[in-house]
Every structure is written in C-alpha cells, then in structure tokens.
Chains A and B, each alone.
Chain A
Amino acid sequence: DSGVTQTPKHLITATGQRVTLRCSPRSGDLSVYWYQQSLDQGLQFLIQYYNGEERAKGNILERFSAQQFPDLHSELNLSSLELGDSALYFCASSASGRGLDEQFFGPGTRLTVL
C-alpha cells in the first residue's frame, strides 16, 4: 500500500459526459501527479501540482482539467468524454515535487466510456 488513495476504482459512463476523479496523496507529500495509461498511448504524464499550484503540464487535453485543494487532495475533471478517453488514470505523490523524490502511485481509476 503506497498511501495514495484514489476514488472511484471504476467508472463507467457515456460519451459526452463529465466525470471527476479524486486523489489523496500520502501524508506529508506536497506534490500530486496525474497519469493516463491506455493501450493506444501507453503511459502519459498529464499534469503536476505542487502545494496547490500547477507545476508542470504534459499531454493533457483541453477537455481535461485538474486542481489541488488546500488539504492537498487533487481532482482530475474530464469533460465531453470520448471513447478514446477510456483508460486507467493514476495519480502519484511525492514529498517535494522537484524530481528528486520517489513518486508513490495510487491504485488507479479505470474509466470506461461507452
């Protein structure tokens, strides 16, 4: 158990809908990362937050957005969902987010868009 929690574990929805994925980092970690894993695209880095502020952006679509709240949990919002958004979404946390720390991954949320 990494100490990172994600909810929900599974999510099934229809095209055009909007969903929110939630991540709670390990106690004391300030940085949260979001990743998408799919058969087509492999593992892709989406976005990083550090202590409430966006730190880095990867291949995140404009239909997707994220935020990190004062209690350091993070949410990833996916809107206007398409079939191709079906994937496993991981969040990870690290202590400082400067790339010097190990990242601890959550169990993931499996999103299925029908």
Chain B
Amino acid sequence: ELKVEQNPLFLSMQEGKNYTIYCNYSTTSDRLYWYRQDPGKSLESLFVLLSNGAVKQEGRLMASLDTKARLSTLHITAAVHDLSATYFCAVERETGNQFYFGTGTSLTVIP
C-alpha cells in the first residue's frame, strides 16, 4: 500500500519566520495535492502538482514536487497568524485513481 508521510506533525512558529513542511511518499506518482483544513471546517485545495519539478506559489505558500525523490515540500514564507491550520498532502496513485493522504501537519503561528 502506498504510504504518505508528512513531517513535522506539529509545527509552532513565530510570525515572520520561514519553514518547510515535507511530504514523502512510497511509490511512483506524478500527482500530488496540498490541502488546508481549518479547525472544524472542510478541506480547501491549495495546490495541484502534476509533474516532476512543478512549483506553484500562492501568497506566502509555495509547493514543489520532486517525483524522483518522491518528495513534495510546502514552504511558508514570513508566516502570519492566518496561516494557522492543518495542512495535508495527498498522492494519487498512477493506476486506479486512488488517493492517499498524509497524516497532516498542524501549524500554529504565534504572534
């Protein structure tokens, strides 16, 4: 079974600082997704990465994909309190259209 590991699981960071969340997966896949979930809320799609070397940026968040290393990163630049949420990566298996989610990274940005 495809395994998706995120680290760290919990991240507490000060406003204005930079940090990176890592997503490793165990089998070949060219499609990786990042989602955000606020407490008690649904999931919001952040990025869809479809090929090796893909990089996407939205505001203070930037996601990248290295399919050879089976690694995606979500980089946070100059964090602000509004970014506090849980972030999930998900990998779509090449065959069968099955999706596998990481454990999530709970991010708290401290003023």
- For window 14-66 of B, CB contacts with A under 8 Å fall at 31, 33, 35, 41-45, 48, 50
* Complex contact A45–B43 (CB within 8 A): no
Interface string of B57-97 (1 = CB under 8 A from A): 00000000000000000000000000000001010100011
- For window 5-32 of A, CB contacts with B under 8 Å fall at none
Q: Which of chain B's residues has its CB closest to A48's CB?
A: B97
Size class of the contact patch on chain B: 20 to 34
* Complex contact A99–B98 (CB within 8 A): no
Main secondary structure of the interface of A (DSSP, over half): strand
- For window 58-114 of A, CB contacts with B under 8 Å fall at 58, 90, 92, 97, 99-108
State the Cβ distance, A9 to closest chain B Cβ, in Å.
Answer: 11
With contacts defined as CB atoms under 8 Å apart, how many contacts are there between chain A and chain B in the complex?
48
**Which one, A43, A56, A104, contacts B101 given CB within 8 A?**
A43
Provide the bound-state CA to CA distance between A90 and B96, in Å: 20
Q: A45-B98, A48-B97, A56-B98 are in contact. Are A2 and B42 (CB under 8 A)?
A: yes
Q: A42-B104, A99-B92, A102-B48 are in contact. Are A55 and B42 (CB under 8 A)?
A: no
Provide the bound-state CA to CA distance between A31 and B88, in Å: 21
Q: A99-B31, A99-B92, A102-B48 are in contact. Are A45 and B99 (CB under 8 A)?
A: yes
Contacts of A57 in B (CB 8 A): 96, 98
Contacts of B35 in A (CB 8 A): 105
Contacts of B104 in A (CB 8 A): 42-43
Provide the bound-state CA to CA distance between A97 and B97, in Å: 9
Provide the bound-state CA to CA distance between A54 and B51, in Å: 26
The 4 closest A-B pairs by CB, nearest first: A56-B97, A43-B101, A45-B99, A105-B43
